[in-house]
Amino acid sequence: MRFLHLADLHLGKYIYGTSLIDNGDQKVWVDRFLDKARELKPDAVVIAGDVYDRGLPPGQATKLLSFLVTTLSDLKIPVLITAGNHDSVYHLSFLSPLLEARDVYISRPLEQSAELVHKTLEDEHGPVTFWLLPYIYPAMIAQVLGDEEIRDYDSAVRRILAVQNIDFTQRNVLVAHQNVTAGGQEVERGGSESMVGGVGQVDYTAFDGFDYVALGHIHSSYHVGREEVRYAGTPMPYHFNETKQPDKGPLLVTLQDKGSRLQTERQIIEPLHHMREIRGTYDEIRKSAVDHPGENEYLKVILTDQRITPLISDFIHETARAHGSTVMELTSEFKAFTGDAVFSDTKDMYEKPVEGLFADFYKDRNDGVEADEQDLKLMAFIGEMTRNAAVTQEKPDEKMYRRILEFALGQEVNRK
């Protein structure tokens, strides 16, 4: 059984005020992915959440997803999609019964049924069942299962999986979108999927028994705890912090018979625009513009020896445009004397989650001192709850405020 694992498409995404659909990035990537699918002829394609960048996506994003899924269906390649925290599972699962007739399977809202959408495919070794787990949070599963004792993400995931009728003597693949860790250890994050303080952790042992776990949510690609529990990462960098892993693309997963070691192989797909960071003095940046101009790039330029003047800004932007590139972020770290702020013409603040903005504000108002761990965890908890409420279209209620208060009080106990 060979299938392509991808995740975190974020169709309809803007970075630094630039639409990745209008600029052609996401359409070109979809075209190149479909070329790869035609070449590899996989038995299935799994998309592990955050298909869209927001719960109510723009029309261009839904049109692009329709093109992707319809083309795969025409190629007779089954498609299995789970909803991420940026998606609305209600909107994504629209017309699911009709789509299943075309071998397109989408996770449904768990409020409708605690049974996960699943599909069994066959190969020469027998059946492989794909289970689609949408992004969950504890309050949802507590309500679905009628158990108010479920108060954390790890127990919520374990409980919802425990009520499924899974035959672990056969091969099973889980497609999920969660913050999965090994012993509480998280990888370095950054950019558009940044979240401070470890809210939402699920230990990888919650997925024991599955032959492969196709994960989405974290924008880097790596395995968690064991080789078979794996993040695919984003199709392209969505932030300069995400360029630390430059080779992006879906994973080709090959399952043999039960108990045999699987194989994963990255299928690199070149983006329309690469992202690159340039740091140095003004003279060094001018020299770099001549020696290594680059073509069709999204650039972050950090000036180290002087402030940004209109003349400097015009030169850097015009030089980039001459090579088909765009300066997304231009900042200066130069400080004429103690207390100077960092100068910038960046739009980065619009990309940051509320907890990231809080951390920056706290540091700025406290002479560079970072907020402590308890404060960051509280802000991360509030940010996560408000994002969940935004996706599900729910209004804040007394239960939400009570959970925030309980979390804050628990933080105070830990602080003492």
Amino acid identity for residue 42 in this structure: P
Q: Which residue has the higher pLDDT, 354 or 275?
A: 275
Contact 88, 56 (CB under 8 A): yes
**Rounded CA separation 19/26 (Å):** 9
Per-residue burial over 218-241, b if 16 or more Cβ lie within 10 Å, else e, is bbbbebbbeebbbbbbbbbbbbbb
pLDDT in tens, 61-100: 999 999 999 999 999 999 999 999 999 998 898 888 899 9
pLDDT digits (tens, 9 = 90+) for 88-147: 998 898 888 899 999 999 999 998 889 999 999 999 999 999 999 999 989 899 999 999
Provide DSSP, 64-79. HHHHHHHHHHHTT--E
User: How much is the mean pLDDT over the chain?
Assistant: 86
Q: Report the distance separating Cα 177 and Cα 107, nearest Å.
A: 11
Tokens representing residue 110 in the block? 């768990």
- Give residues with Cβ within 8 angstroms of 286, minimum separation 6: 315
- The predicted structure's pLDDT at residue 127: 97
Q: Please, are residues 330 and 313 in contact by the beta-carbon 8 Å criterion?
A: yes
Q: How far is CA 173 from the centre of its chain?
A: 20
* All domains in the chain, ordered by first residue: 2-266 (3.60.21.10), 274-352 (3.40.50)
Determine the pLDDT at residue 196.
39
Rounded Cα–Cα distance for residues 193 and 380 (Å): 12
Instruction: Identify which has the larger pLDDT, 363 or 81.
Output: 81
pTM, rounded to two decimals: 0.81
